[in-house]
A and B are shown apart, each in its own frame.
Chain A
Amino acid sequence: MGVGDYIWMGILAVFQGPEAFSLFGIGISITVLMVLAGFLLGIIVGATPGLAGPMAMAISLPILISAFGFSPDALLPVMGFLIGVMKGATVGGAVPAILFNTPGTPDAYMTTLDGYPMTRAGQARKALKLAHVSSASGDTFSDIVLILCAPFLAVLVEAYLDLPEKTALLILSLAFISSVIGGSVGKGLISMGLGLLAVYIGTGEEFYPRLSFGTQALAQGFPVATAVLGVLILGEVFRALEDLWHERRATAAAAEPAQTGDQHLHWADIRRIAPYIARSAVIGTVIGALPGIGSTLAATLGYSSGARRHARKRPQAVQFGEGAPEGIAATEAANSSVSGANLIPVLSLGIPGNAAAVFLILAAESIGGFNPGPGVFKFTAETVNPELVAAFGLFTMMMLANAMNWTIGGAFMRMAGVMVRVPKPILLPAVLLLTLTAIYVQEGRMLAIWFAIGFGVLGYLMRRVGMSPLPFVIAFILGGKLEDTARQAFAATGGDAWFLFTHPIAALFMALAVLFVALSLRKPSEAQR
C-alpha cells in the first residue's frame, strides 16, 4: 500500500460508495449527493441573517446519524454533508452583507463595507460575483495547503510525541486559544476553566461520578451536544431574541436600489483583484492553521492589508470602504481561506480551532471508526488503514465541494438572495425549538433540554459580559482527552509527577503556553469579536 494507493482508494470511496441513483448509466454515489445537498443548504443558511454554518451542522447531525446509522459506511456521507454546509455557508455569508448591509456570518462584516456601497451604486450582481470568485479561490487554496500539510504534520507528531508531549501539546493549545480569542486573556481563561469544570462533572475514573452531588441527574455528566449547542447556539439565539425583544418592531423593509449597468465579471476585473485574493488567501490560511483565532480576524487582517496596498498602489481608484471591488475580494478570500486550514490541527492533532471544526469532530466521534488525530495518517504497508482512506475521502470531498462551488456556487448564491428577507422574529424561535428537538432526539430525556437551556443561559451571560464562549466549547471537547492523556502519561512514566517538565519537547510546549498568556497580558489582543 503506497501513498498513491491510499489517495486512489480515498477518491474511489467517495465516488463509488453506495449508489443513490444512476444517471445515464453512471451511478451517482450517495456521498456525492450529500456533499451537494450540504453545500446548497450551507449557502442558504449562510445567506440568512441570524443563521450560521455551525448551527446548521449541529442541527443536521442527529438527523444524518439517524439516516445513516453508526456504520463505517456512514462516515463519508455524513462528513460530506457537514463539509458541504461549512463551505456553502462560507460563500453564502457574503450575500446579506452585500445586498442588505447585514453580515450573514460575523466574518462577513468587512464585506458590508464595500459590498453594500456597490449595491447602492447598482452593482449588486457584480459584487456577488466578485465575492464568489474570491471566496472560492481562497477556499480552494486553503484546502490544497491542508492536503499537503496535514499528513506530514501528523506523521511528525506521531514520530516525536509521546504521552507527556501530547499532554503538554493539549495544554499549549488551550492556553493559546484562551489567549487569542476575545478581548482579554483573563476572560479567556475563565471561559476555558468553566468548560473544563463542566466536562469533569460526572466523569472520572472512580465509580463514584464526581461532582454529581450523589444525584442520578448529574451522574452521567453533561452530554456534549447540550453543552456545545447550548453555549454556542442557544446563547446566541437568546442574545438575538433579547435584542429583538427590546427593539419591539419587525425588521423594516429596506428600499432596494435599482440595479443598473454592466453586471458581468470581466478578465480585467479578475486581473485587478487577483493580487488581493492571493495576499488574503495566504493570510487566511496561516491564521486558519492556528487553532482558535478564526475567520473574523483573518477577514480583518486581509481587509486592512489590502486597504494599505490599495491606497499605496492605486490612490486614484475607488478606495476601500467606498465600494471597491478589491475590498470585497480581500475580505472574502481571507475569511474563506480559513476553513480548510482550520482542519490542519483537527486532522493532525485532533484539536478543533473553530466552531465548524468542533462539529466535524463531534460527527466523527458519534459515528466512530474515525478518530481525528495523528493516528489517522498511519501508512500501513500490508493491511489497509481505513482511517487513512477516510482521510483521503475527506480531502476528495473538500475538492468536490470546491468544484461545485466554482461551477454552480455563484448562480445558487445569487438565488439565495431571497433568504435575506426572512424576518428574525419568526426565524429565531423556530431555530430555538429546532435545536432543542435535535438535542432531545439524540439524548431522549427532558433533562437534556434543561441542561441545554442552562448552557444557553451561560452562553448568553458570557456574551453579555464580553467573554468568548469558544474557549469554553473547545475546553469541553478537549477536557476529557486532556485528563485521560495526563493520567496515561503519569502512569506510563511510572508516576513521574514532573513529566510535563522533564521531557524536553513537553517542557518547551509548557514554556510556550506560559509565554502566550504572558504576551497577551501585555498587549490586548487584536482578535476582538
Chain B
Amino acid sequence: MRPPETGSRANLYLALGAIGVALVLALVWVPLDSGSGLIVKVRRQVTIGDALAPTLAAGMIAIGGLLLLFQRGAEGQGGLSRANLAFLLRFLLLCAAGFAIMRWAGPLAVAGANLVSDETLSYRTLRDTAPWKYIGFFLGGTFLIAGMIVQIEGRLSRRAVVIAVLAVAALIALYDLPFDDLLLPPNGDV
C-alpha cells in the first residue's frame, strides 16, 4: 500500500487525464471520424447517428473524471511508479520479439529449404502442413515462455527451456491435433 498522498495525487492525474481524453474524443475524434452526426434525417425519419453513442461514452468518461476530482481524497489506492512502466516496456519488447520469431521463422525455414533443394516451396501453401506449420509457433512460443521465466528467476536455466518446450507442445496438442479448422499463430496471416 502506498501512502494516501501518492494515491490522491495519482487520482488527480487520473481524473485530469480522463477529462482530457473525453474532451479530445467528444470534440475532435468523434466528429471527424464518424459516418454521420449525432442525429440524422433519412427517409423523412429522424434517427440516431453514429456519433451519438461514442459522444455519450466520452460524456461518461468526463463525468467519471469530474467525480474523481471531487472524491480524490476519499481513496488512496494505487498509482503508477517508474518501476511499473519499466516492467511494461521490457515485457512488451519480449512479446514483440516472441511474435516476430513466431511470424517469420516458418517462412525463413521454407526459404532456407528452397536454397538447399531445387524445389520452390511457399510457406503460404504449406501453412497447414506438418512440420512447417509448427515451426513459427514452436520457436516463438518457446522463446516467449522461456524468456518470461528467465526474467522472473533472473537467470537462464535448462529447466526454464524444458518447461517452455513442454508447454508449447501441450498447446499444439490441445489446439492443433484434434481440429482441422483451427490455425495456430501465425498461419492465419500468411
Contact in complex: B74, A184 (CB < 8 Å): yes
Known: A429-B149, A430-B145, A524-B74. A200 touches B54 (CB 8 A): yes
Residues of B within 8 A of A66 (CB): 178-179, 181-182
Binary B-proximity of A190-229 (CB < 8 A = 1, otherwise 0): 1111101100100011111111111000000000000000
A466 near B75 with CB under 8 A, answer yes
Tell me the B48-91 residues at the A interface (CB within 8 Å). 48-51, 53-54, 56-69, 71, 74-75, 77-80, 83-84, 87-88, 91
Please give the distance in Å from B164's CB to the nearest CB on chain A: 8
Output the nearest chain A residue to B45 by Cβ-Cβ distance.
A495
B51 touches A184 (CB 8 A): no
Q: State the Cβ distance, B2 to closest chain A Cβ, in Å.
A: 10
A453 is contacted by which of B77, B80, B95 (Cβ under 8 Å)? B95
Q: How far is the CA of A463 from the CA of B65 in the complex (A)?
A: 17
A434 in contact with B92 (CB, 8 Å) = no
Using Cβ atoms and an 8 Å threshold, which residues of chain A touch B77? Answer: 183, 466, 528
Query: Which of A244-252, A389-397, A502-510 is near enough to bind chain B?
Result: A244-252
Closest beta carbon of chain B to A119's beta carbon, Å: 27
Q: Indicate whether A205 sits within 8 Å of B50 (C-beta atoms), given known contacts A189-B64, A433-B171.
A: yes
Instruction: Give the Cβ gap from A518 to chain B, nearest Cβ, in Å.
Output: 10
B7 at the A interface (CB under 8 A): yes
Is A400 located at the chain interface by the 8 A CB criterion?
no
Answer yes or no: A425 CB below 8 A from chain B CBs: yes
Chain B proximity of A236: nearest CB distance (Å)? 14
Instruction: Decide yes or no whether B101 CB sits under 8 A from chain A.
Output: no
Tell me the smallest distance from the CB of A429 to a CB of chain B, in Å: 4
Question: Is A379 close to B, CB under 8 A?
Answer: no
Which of chain B's residues have a CB closer than 8 A to the CB of A52?
Answer: none
**CB-defined interface of B132-149 with A at 8 Å, one 1/0 digit per residue?**
000001000100110011
Name the CB-closest residue of A to B15. Answer: A186
Residue numbers in B under 8 Å from A429 (CB-CB): 144-145, 148-149, 164, 167
Choose, from B29-37, B106-114, B116-124, the stretch at the interface: B29-37
Closest to B33 in A: A211
Contacts A194-B61, A429-B144 given: A186-B182 contact, CB under 8 Å?
no
What string of 1s and 0s marks CB contacts (under 8 Å) between A423-445 and chain B? 00110111011101110110111
Decide: B64 and A190 in contact? CB cutoff 8 A.
yes
Q: Known: A190-B65, A429-B145, A446-B99. Contact between A206 and B54, CB under 8 A?
A: no
Question: In whole angstroms, what is the CA distance A457 to B34 when docked?
Answer: 26
* A190: contacting residue among B61, B84, B95, CB under 8 A: B61
A270: CB under 8 A from chain B? no
The CA of A67 and the CA of B175, in the complex, are separated in Å by 10
Tell me if A460 counts as interface (CB < 8 A to partner B). yes
CB distance from A87 to the nearest CB of B (A): 23
In the complex, what's the smallest C-beta–C-beta distance from B122 to chain A, in angstroms? 19
Cβ of B51: which chain A residues have Cβ within 8 Å of it? 210
CB distance from A304 to the nearest CB of B (A): 21
A193 & B75 in contact (Cβ 8 Å cutoff): no
- Residues in chain A near residue B65, CB distance under 8 A: 186, 190
Is A268 engaged at the interface, CB distance under 8 Å to the other chain? no
In the bound complex, how far is the Cα of B148 from the Cα of A463, in angstroms?
21
Q: A464-B78, A464-B84 are in contact. Are A189 and B67 (CB under 8 A)?
A: yes
In the complex, B23 has a CB within 8 A of chain A: no
- Selected from A183, A184, A204, A482, the residue in CB contact (under 8 A) with B50 is A204
Specify which chain B residues have a CB less than 8 angstroms from the CB of A5 in the assembled complex: none
A63 with B174: CB separation less than 8 A: yes
Is B27's beta carbon under 8 Å from chain A? no
Q: Flag if A446 contacts B103 (CB, 8 Å).
A: yes
Residue B184 CB within 8 A of the other chain: yes
Q: Tell me if B68 and A242 are in contact (CB < 8 A).
A: no
Contact of B80 among A183, A241, A465 (CB under 8 A): A465
> Across the interface, which residues of B come within 8 angstroms of A67, CB to CB?
178-179
Are B14's CB and A187's CB within 8 A?
yes
- A208 and B34 alpha carbons, distance in the complex (Å): 7
A185 at interface, CB cutoff 8 A? yes
Residues of B within 8 A of A194 (CB): 57, 61
Q: A66-B179, A196-B56 are in contact. List 19 more A-B contacts (CB 8 A).
A: A184-B68, A184-B74, A193-B22, A197-B25, A207-B35, A241-B152, A429-B148, A433-B171, A441-B183, A446-B103, A460-B88, A464-B84, A465-B14, A465-B80, A467-B14, A467-B78, A491-B48, A517-B67, A524-B71
Nearest 4 interchain pairs by C-beta: A206-B35, A186-B68, A189-B64, A444-B188
A-B contact pairs, 23 of them (CB 8 A): A67-B178, A185-B67, A186-B15, A186-B64, A189-B61, A190-B14, A190-B68, A192-B64, A193-B18, A196-B54, A197-B54, A204-B53, A211-B33, A248-B154, A430-B145, A433-B167, A437-B184, A441-B175, A449-B99, A465-B11, A487-B48, A490-B46, A490-B48
